[in-house]
Amino acid sequence: MTARKESARGRRALTILRSRPFLTVAIVAAVWIAASFASRGFGAYGHLRYLVELGAVIGLVAAGQTFVVIAGGIDLSVAAIVTVSAVSLPLLSLQADPTGLTAVLAVLALTTAIGLVNGLGVALLRVHPMIMTLAMATFLQGLLIIIAGGSAVTAENPLVRWLGNARPAGIPAGVLLWVAISVIVLTTMHATSLGARIFAMGANPLAAALSGVSVASTTLAVYGISGFCSGLAGMLVLGMNGQGYVGIGDPYLLASIAAVVLGGTSILGGLGTYAGTIPGAILLVTITALITVVNASPGWRSILFGSLILGLLLLSGREQARR
């Protein structure tokens, strides 16, 4: 009896050790250890904390992206939504509200609404997610240029400034926000019926629909969540940066998708977990930091970044063939 229980526990431990999230964590640890031997300042607590803080922005954008990808779609408008958030918040800063909360809530409502429009296009108009979200991104970029122009806008919002700079108990507020969001995301994904519906829809939308899953409302939900998460990420970037400008969100499109895939979520939908995306996001900022250390020209940095992501994906196992 106890032997059986132990073997079951052993099997569970083995499953965790072999899982993609764990593998990604192991790669991050290996890279950190190797890099701290190679470069003196890399392993310092302050530097690692800074990496995680940068990772928080990617992690937040990738939270929504993980939901969308598991549901069988893709959101190519996340970068534009991050920019919308970072640019519109300073414009909305109201004198009447000293905390800045009203503006924050208004912007989150706006970005969630943008996500819902994506969802409407995908679910009701049956536009392919790639086309729908890419068109949305182009639309938003045009709108931002008209509203904000080429100049940077400075944020006067106290809440956002706190989010980007405060360190309660030595931990950056952005990281705390990421931890809180991670808990909510993982709970929604793996412990609610909505999460189960999202997985089912991503694996086989037809079978899900015939089993009574409302595909339209589930699709709306995932794109809405993605808009909300990108909106949060935009505020964090704004807080850390102090200024918002058109193009501030651009790095986060590839980064969010790469973090999702590095974390082992299937780009075909139906399989995956945010628990893998978290180390995936940290791995990405680590790679970026390493490339900066190498001190190459911007062109070579991009080439290195792209090649390293491809190499890592080959290393950590490609998508298994599905029938």
Of 204 and 243, which CB lies nearer to another protein in the complex structure? Answer: 204
Q: Determine if 243 is a binding residue for another protein (CB under 8 A).
A: no
Scored b (16 or more CB within 10 A) or e, 235-260 reads: bbbbbbbeebbbebbebbbebbbbbb
CA distances from 206 to 126, 141, 193, 223, 286 (A): 14, 34, 18, 19, 40
Least Å distance, CB 12 to another protein, is 11
Scored b (16 or more CB within 10 A) or e, 28-41 reads: beebbeebeeeeee
What's the rounded Cα separation, in Å, for the pair 106 and 103? 5
The correct pick among 207, 294, 296, 315 for binding another protein (CB under 8 A) is: 207
322: helix, strand or coil: coil
For residues 185 and 62, the answer to whether their CB atoms sit within 8 Å is: no
Q: Determine if 192 is a binding residue for another protein (CB under 8 A).
A: yes
Q: Determine if 314 is a binding residue for another protein (CB under 8 A).
A: no
Q: Which amino acid is at 50?
A: Y
Burial class (CB in 10 A: 0-12, 13-18, 19+), 113: middle
The correct pick among 39, 102, 204, 241 for binding another protein (CB under 8 A) is: 204
Q: Determine if 35 is a binding residue for another protein (CB under 8 A).
A: no
Q: Determine if 318 is a binding residue for another protein (CB under 8 A).
A: no
Q: Determine if 321 is a binding residue for another protein (CB under 8 A).
A: no
Chain positions 126 to 145 lying near another protein, rule: CB under 8 A, are none
The stretch among 16-24, 52-60, 213-221, 222-230 that binds another protein (CB under 8 A) is 213-221
Q: Determine if 36 is a binding residue for another protein (CB under 8 A).
A: no
The correct pick among 211, 292, 302, 307 for binding another protein (CB under 8 A) is: 211
Of 70 and 237, which CB lies nearer to another protein in the complex structure? Answer: 70
243: helix, strand or coil: strand
The correct pick among 203, 235, 255, 262 for binding another protein (CB under 8 A) is: 203
Of 227 and 270, which CB lies nearer to another protein in the complex structure? Answer: 270
The stretch among 47-55, 81-89, 102-110, 208-216 that binds another protein (CB under 8 A) is 208-216
For residues 246 and 148, the answer to whether their CB atoms sit within 8 Å is: yes
Of 120 and 308, which CB lies nearer to another protein in the complex structure? Answer: 120
The correct pick among 2, 95, 151, 193 for binding another protein (CB under 8 A) is: 193
- Which positions from 55 to 74 touch another protein by CB under 8 A, shown as an x/- string? --------------------
CB atoms within 10 A of CB 143: 14
Angle of helix 298-315 versus helix 274-294 axis, rounded to 10: 140
The residues that touch another protein, with contacts defined as CB under 8 A, are 187-188, 191-197, 199-200, 203-204, 206-214, 221, 270-271, 322-323
